[in-house]
Amino acid sequence: MYLEFFGMRELPFTLTPHTDFFLDLDGHHRALEVIQLALESGEGFIKIIGEVGTGKTLLCRRLLNTISDNFVTAYVPNPFLTPDGLLLALAEELGLDVNHEKGRHHVLGEINRKLMEIRQSGKQVVFLLDEAQAMPEESIEVLRLLTNLEVIVR
């Protein structure tokens, strides 16, 4: 219906936001600038909040498409995961093939090695967690512990 009436080639409103339909409104533009400035200055955590449908996921995807080569990105669209599930998702996003049967300590060690390798190459890792409010407290603690590595490497 929309396609024919508005003369469009593809549907603009789908479940997964399409960055080609990003409308650079003032609020979105400012949010992207704040995120980029925070990333360049090495901020540990950045939180974007807003009502449902205001474009938070679209901002994540836009950032992924426009971020500089100085960053390695890992994106988890739904972090409602156990601590082990979150670590496995991060490992997968970083291109690691880990044996989860060896336990959390092994997976965490592999992630830490990869993060240090990336850091030593002069790059930073950006871990984007969409819908982070759904994370269980135990998973948030695992994420917090991962950030301790940043303090060691600096």
Mean pLDDT of 57-84: 90
Is the pLDDT confidence value at 31 over 90? Answer: no
Give the pLDDT mean for 76-102: 92
Stronger pLDDT, 90 or 46, i.e. the higher one: 90
129 has which bridge partners?
76
3-state secondary structure of 124: strand
| Dist. CA 121–CA 50, nearest whole Å | 35
Question: Percent of the chain at pLDDT above 90?
Answer: 32
Residue with tokens 């044996």: 99
pTM of the model: 0.78
Q: Where are the domains positioned within the chain? A: 1-66, 68-154
Q: Which pLDDT belongs to residue 22?
A: 65
Cα–Cα distance list, 1 to 62, 110, 135 (Å)? 27, 50, 37
Question: What are the φ and ψ backbone dihedral angles of 113, each rounded to 5 degrees?
Answer: -60, -45
